[in-house]
């Protein structure tokens, strides 16, 4: 079994997995390595990072020197090979035209989805993050706790390879021995931010990222991940040996031809294919989950994008892992006499409570970092340290004016230049010729950026539904977004910028301006951080949620959701590690229920 076409696919499977990113890749890996026969449907094209990653190209070799274009927002070298903020023939709409009420939807139409593009920040949610309503009375609690997910965080970290440290900080969980790889050393700018952060009471610690700083332990990890499964252990051991440690060649956003960082295409799919249990259809756009007279799902109807023809695949179980909003769209479009308002929507909550990460940035120039000796600070393709949220006690006491926190990411160092033709001097003037060269040597590496990534509280004004008038090129209704930040997010962003301005001054820099106390002028549009979750939230009550604690839809027992749609809250931690941990947990549940004959 391997890559198949609609005509060569089998008549029926144990499981259909819709989507091939973090959720779909993890679900397919877990299922196939334990013997389940799986068909994966990917709406985008095939993608091979081994042959398509421009690991060693410099900006001067790229079109327009690699700068962003409408179809490559993050620049020519970004790994998103199909998709982005707009996808030809696949629109979406916003219900409101007001500033701040727009939602931007980023989609990667390619094998592996957004795992080819992401920043590889792999943070665990903490105990508070699963029970936020119990702490402050806002939003929703999850029906599961940190203890339920922790064993799966362990597994994912060991499988994909995550660097970081255990620091014993509040609501920033440590990992058991053997889960983490050693982190790379901090860059000079990061060291200065750490030193001066202490004067502000802000801890700066090694970040956790899914990048190999040394080869994985292929002798012991396979047995820990697949006890009693000799075939899975053998496949994984062989696959781990084909992954090289990072040698600081390029930005992780380009992808990785040596498989040093995590992408579904380099970590989950190769062993799943090697198991012989995975069939994979690319350019297969899922249109509808079909149901039989009993009310159970019978399979998935999908469109072959190459021909425009519809096909149907059958399975005992359907796993939706297309990304949060895409999964919601598929369910809303899966209407029938049993489910006139969409599959699994008896609660009326399908599409409700969509969330994104709260984002804002601030930057400055630090004289202490000028005129540093020439040295290579490229590092592991992204940040090496970060600041986890540090004001839990003050927040719990109601001293901050907003209910949830944020973490801080840094941009600093002497990475590959972006091709700008000049650098400003202290007065912001433009220089040319010999003076420009002198100033480049002086200023290069002295810029520092702070990026806040905060928690959004789910609210009734942020949801998606089907546009009543707009369809895609195949005639399928598209999503319409409704969006609103609450005062908690607005005040959180204002706090971010005040903190960053103070931090720049503590580092010896000067702010060109003071932060505006109005956070609406700083907060990014919803969806812009590309961390959308929610829309099919899990819960303990069928009347108030879409799935149960196992991500199994209340209405259809053989339909499970493995992606971020089930998130009941969106912590300040990047969601990808939690998506993978929950997908592994859900797949284990499916395997167990199939063995028992319940599915």
The 3-state secondary structure of 45-79 reads: ECCCHHHHCCCCCCHHHCHHHHCCECCECCCCCCC
Q: Which pTM was predicted?
A: 0.97
pLDDT at 599: 97
| Ranges of each domain in the chain | 165-206+358-454+486-522
Rounded CA separation 61/42 (Å): 31
- How buried is residue 434: exposed, middle or buried, by Cβ count under 10 Å (0-12/13-18/19+)? exposed
pLDDT at 422: 44
pLDDT at 421: 44
Runs of H (alpha helix) within 305-432: 324-332, 392-396
The residues, any chain, with a CB within 8 Å of residue 475's CB and separated by 6 or more, are none
Rounded CA separation 174/192 (Å): 25
User: How many Cα atoms sit within 13 Å of 236 on the Cβ side?
Assistant: 26
Residues of the chain with pLDDT under 70: 1, 416-430
Query: What does the CA dihedral 44, 16, 30, 123 come to, rounded to 10 degrees?
Result: 50
Rounded CA separation 145/558 (Å): 24
pLDDT digits (tens, 9 = 90+) for 157-202: 999 999 999 999 999 999 999 999 999 999 999 999 999 999 999 9
Rounded CA separation 530/532 (Å): 6
pLDDT at 417: 64
Q: Is 363 in contact with 513 (CB distance < 8 Å)?
A: no
Matching residue, tokens 């989507």: 19
pLDDT at 272: 98
Matching residue, tokens 């941990």: 581
Matching residue, tokens 């095939």: 46
């Amino acid at each position: 079994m391997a890559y198949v076409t609609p005509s060569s696919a089998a008549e029926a499977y144990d499981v259909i997995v819709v989507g091939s990113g973090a959720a779909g890749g993890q679900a397919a890996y877990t299922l196939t390595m334990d013997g389940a026969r799986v068909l994966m449907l990917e709406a985008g094209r095939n993608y091979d990072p081994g042959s398509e990653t421009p690991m060693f190209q410099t900006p001067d070799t790229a079109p327009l020197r690699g700068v962003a274009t409408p179809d490559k927002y993050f620049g020519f070298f970004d790994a998103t090979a199909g998709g982005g903020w707009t996808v030809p023939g696949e629109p979406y709409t916003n219900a409101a035209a007001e500033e701040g009420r727009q939602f931007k939807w980023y989609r990667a139409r390619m094998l592996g989805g957004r795992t080819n593009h992401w920043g590889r920040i792999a943070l665990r949610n903490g105990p508070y993050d699963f029970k936020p309503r119990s702490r402050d009375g806002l939003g929703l609690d999850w029906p599961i706790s940190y203890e339920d997910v922790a064993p799966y965080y362990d597994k994912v970290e060991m499988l994909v390879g995550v660097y970081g440290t255990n620091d014993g900080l509040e609501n920033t969980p440590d990992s058991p021995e053997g889960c983490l790889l050693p982190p790379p050393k901090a860059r000079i700018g990061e060291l200065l931010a750490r030193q001066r952060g202490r004067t502000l009471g802000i801890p700066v610690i090694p970040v956790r990222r899914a990048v190999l700083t040394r080869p994985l332990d292929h002798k012991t990890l396979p047995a820990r991940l697949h006890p009693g499964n000799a075939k899975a252990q053998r496949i994984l051991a062989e696959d781990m040996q084909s992954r090289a440690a990072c040698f600081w060649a390029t930005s992780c956003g380009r992808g990785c031809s040596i498989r040093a960082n995590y992408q579904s295409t380099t970590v989950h799919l190769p062993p799943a294919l090697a198991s012989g249990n995975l069939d994979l259809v690319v350019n297969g756009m899922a249109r509808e989950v079909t149901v039989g007279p009993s009310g159970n799902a019978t399979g998935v109807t999908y469109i072959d994008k190459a021909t425009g023809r519809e096909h149907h695949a059958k399975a005992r179980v359907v796993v939706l892992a297309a990304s949060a909003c895409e999964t919601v769209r598929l369910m809303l479009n899966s209407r029938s006499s049993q489910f006139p308002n969409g599959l699994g929507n008896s609660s009326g909550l399908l599409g409700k409570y969509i969330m994104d990460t709260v984002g804002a940035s601030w930057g400055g120039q630090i004289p202490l970092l000028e005129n540093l000796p020439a040295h290579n600070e490229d590092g592991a393709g992204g940040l090496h340290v970060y600041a986890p949220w540090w004001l839990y006690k003050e927040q719990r006491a109601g001293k901050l004016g907003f209910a949830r926190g944020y973490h801080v990411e840094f941009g600093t160092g002497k990475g590959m230049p972006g091709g700008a033709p000049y650098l400003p001097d202290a007065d912001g003037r433009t220089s040319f010729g010999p003076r420009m060269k002198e100033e480049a040597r002086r200023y290069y590496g002295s810029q520092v950026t702070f990026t806040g990534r905060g928690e959004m509280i789910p609210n009734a004004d942020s949801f998606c539904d089907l546009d009543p008038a707009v369809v895609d090129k195949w005639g399928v209704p598209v999503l319409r977004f409704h969006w609103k930040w609450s005062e908690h997010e607005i005040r959180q962003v204002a706090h971010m910028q005040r903190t960053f301005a103070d931090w720049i001054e503590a580092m010896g820099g000067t702010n060109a301006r003071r932060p505006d106390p109005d956070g609406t002028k700083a907060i990014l549009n919803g969806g812009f951080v590309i961390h959308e979750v929610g829309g099919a939230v899990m819960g303990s009550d069928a009347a108030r949620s879409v799935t149960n604690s196992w991500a199994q839809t209340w209405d259809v027992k053989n339909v499970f959701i493995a992606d971020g749609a089930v998130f009941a809250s969106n912590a300040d931690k990047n969601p990808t590690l939690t998506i993978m941990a929950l997908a592994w947990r859900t797949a284990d549940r499916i395997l167990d229920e199939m063995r028992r004959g319940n599915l």
